[in-house]
Amino acid sequence: MLHIKGRILVGPDPLDGVRDELWVVGGRITFDRPAGARDVTTVEGWVLPGLVDAHCHVGLDAHGAVDEATTEKQALTERHAGALLLRDAGSPSDTRWIDEREDLPRVIRAGRHIARTRRYIRNYAHEIEPEDLVAYVAREARRGDGWVKLVGDWIDRETGDLGACWPRGAVEAAIAEAHRLGARVTAHCFAEETLAPLVEAGIDCIEHATGLTEETIPLFAERGVAIVPTLVNIATFPRLADGGEGKFPRWADHMRRLHARRYATVGAAYDAGIPVYVGTDAGGSLPHGLVGQEVEELVKAGIPAAAALSAATWGARAWLGRPGLEEGAPADLVVYDADPRADVRVLGAPSRVVLRGRVVA
């Protein structure tokens, strides 16, 4: 049994969203003191629900699928950073075995990426043509945990720049099929021109969304389409541009421009009312455990600290259909020595991590 004391941040409201204590009994949260409590461990501090990395890749590295030992190390790194709920935004690995481990974070899977032939990173995705898109979306909707991941745009070798991967009709049919099967659809998108057709086709979320403009931001807000900006990943754009400039100078210039306005883009999206959530894109070329850094990036983009925290905690969990610090909920929480609302950099140094009611770090 655990007794958690201090400031329990059950929600973003500075008054109603704070409790003084909670108990963990049988791995679940209660705000009522148990009768006859014995063998109690007390933990004190500032408490948040387990953090959410809403865009990472478990079981994947820069070259494709990895073995179980490497996958385990990735999941443990996320756990150590306090990320206890992961939305895996595409992986070729079968990671269902993680669900049997009480000591590893919960994973919400989007199946395997679905990309156009030779239009994505090698060994990552199903690479198909538009006539097969509906069938593959149905397959991954059944394989995942309520999400499907498309590659919406990638470099087009004929134009030498970013270009949309799918015709509008194919995307409309594929998204309709996913929704029929009870799955939401998200897409990797860097470019400007990719966004409006996907939103108009009914997509639920866009990853990265660097191409948002004054024209498309109102469309996202009107339709309630969420974005996961992955700013710690967008920080790598200049390096990527340098590496590809010799072969694709137009693409390199485009990537630098998207990078230069990244904070303004995310800030404008938030100001317009677009739902923004925290994701790192860890597991490809980036290491795991960067969720705290991504929250810092959102604050740099002008998002208030409380809203940036919600994008990684209360709001993100509600969006993904998972509970936070609620009566009877699984006790997945993170404890800090200082108030993360006053300085989000506190997220980088959790003092305790509690997963399924057990102190694991």
Q: What is the pLDDT of residues 302-323, one digit of tens each?
A: 999 999 999 999 999 999 999 9
Instruction: Please tell me the pTM assigned to this model.
Output: 0.97
- Tell me the CATH number of domain 51-320, given options 3.20.20.140, 3.40.50.2000, 3.30.1330.60, 3.30.9.10: 3.20.20.140
Boundaries of every domain in the chain? 2-48+323-359, 51-320
Q: Any idea what the Cα angle at residue 299 is, between residues 294 and 305, rounded to 5°?
A: 105
Q: Is the pLDDT of residue 36 over 80?
A: no
Residue with tokens 């300085």: 343
User: How far is the CA of 108 from the CAs of 22, 87, 272, 283, 333, in angstroms?
Assistant: 27, 5, 28, 15, 18
Written as six digits, the tokens of 117 are: 């032939």
Domain 2-48+323-359 coded CATH 1.20.970.10 = no
pLDDT at 15 over 90: no
| pLDDT band, very low/low/confident/very high, at 155 (cuts 50, 70, 90) | very high
| Residue 34: burial class (beta carbons within 10 Å; 0-12, 13-18, 19+) | middle
Q: In the prediction, which pLDDT does 38 show?
A: 78
The answer to whether residues 56 and 106 touch, using CB atoms and an 8 Å cutoff, is: no
Given a cut of 80, is residue 301 above it in pLDDT?
yes
Region 326-339: mean pLDDT is: 98
- Kindly provide the b/e burial profile for residues 87-111, where b requires at least 16 CB atoms within 10 angstroms of the residue's own CB: bbbbbbbebeebeeeeebbbbbbbb
Q: Which range (35-49, 83-97, 116-130) has the least confidence?
A: 35-49
- Judge whether 81 and 350 are in contact, CB under 8 Å: yes
At 219-249, the pLDDT tens digits run: 999 999 999 999 999 999 999 999 999 999 9
Identify the bridge partners of residue 83 per DSSP, sorted by sequence position. Answer: 51
